[in-house]
Amino acid sequence: MFPDGSRAEKVLRAYAVVICNGTTFGAGMRVAPMARPDDGLLEVVTVETASKLRMLLRLSTVYRGLHLTQPGIAHFSCRQLTLTPLSEFGGPFPLDVDGDALGEIPVNVRILPAALRIGVPA
């Protein structure tokens, strides 16, 4: 579901789909420099480059947050996202959450507003 409440379906032929609520992960990679943890939106970055080698060659741009202007990299914002593998591509398609293997897709991701209370201990 997009920020305006509309819905869409898209087939992605991607090496990676990154769903972010924060700007960085993995030792400072600025995957979603536009992300804000309190805006109620997921920032989705897809890597649909022509080859894995080309994707690896562009990896350095991620640390500076400049990858979003590269060919084969796309971005959109949404409130909810469902990823479902297409049977024609086989599988499995691993699900990695902040460096931890958590199974495989399909997966449904959505924001739970104000679900975390962050404070400084007394």
pLDDT at 50: 66
Distance CA 122, CA 47 (A): 43
Model pLDDT for residues 25-77, shown as the tens digit of each residue = 878 888 899 999 888 899 998 888 667 777 677 777 887 888 888 888 889 99
Domain count, the chain: 1
Residue 41 CB partners (closer than 8 Å, separation 6+): 3, 35, 77, 78, 79, 111
Distance CA 83, CA 23 (A): 21
Residue 112: band (very low, low, confident or very high) from pLDDT cuts 50, 70, 90 = confident
pLDDT at 49: 67
CATH number at residue 33: 2.60.200.40
Q: Is residue 87 part of a domain?
A: yes
Distance CA 110, CA 81 (A): 6
pLDDT at 28: 83
pTM here is: 0.81
